[in-house]
Amino acid sequence: MSKTPNRKTPARPGAGTDGRAPAKAARAASARRPATRRGRASRLSAGQVQELFSRLRELNPHPTTELEYSTPFELLVAVALSAQATDVGVNKATRRLFPVANTPQAILELGEEGLKRYISTIGLFNAKARNVVAASRILLEKHGGQVPRDRAALEALPGVGRKTANVVLNTAFGEPTIAVDTHIFRVANRTGLAPGKDVREVEEGLLRVVPPEFLQDAHHWLILHGRYTCKARRPECPRCPIRDLCRYEHKTLALPGD
Instruction: Tell me which of 92, 181, 197, 251 is the catalytic residue.
Output: 181
User: Are the beta carbons of 164 and 154 closer than 8 angstroms?
Assistant: yes
CA distance 30 to 9: 24
CA distance 73 to 160: 12
Helix-strand-coil split of the chain, %, nearest 5: 55, 0, 45
**Neighbour count for residue 251 (Cβ, 10 Å):** 13
Q: How many CA atoms lie within 13 A of 131 on its CB side?
A: 22
The answer to whether residue 258 is catalytic is no
CA distance 205 to 17: 42
User: Are the beta carbons of 122 and 128 closer than 8 angstroms?
Assistant: yes
Instruction: Tell me which of 163, 197, 198, 258 is the catalytic residue.
Output: 163
CA distance 169 to 92: 24
The answer to whether residue 181 is catalytic is yes
Amino acid symbol at 109: E
User: Are the beta carbons of 211 and 56 closer than 8 angstroms?
Assistant: no
**Neighbour count for residue 147 (Cβ, 10 Å):** 23
Smallest CA-to-CA distance from 55 within 243, 241, 245, 247 is with 241
The alpha carbon of 225 is separated from its chain's Cα centroid by a whole number of angstroms, namely 11
Amino acid symbol at 176: P
Q: Which amino acids are annotated catalytic?
A: 163, 181
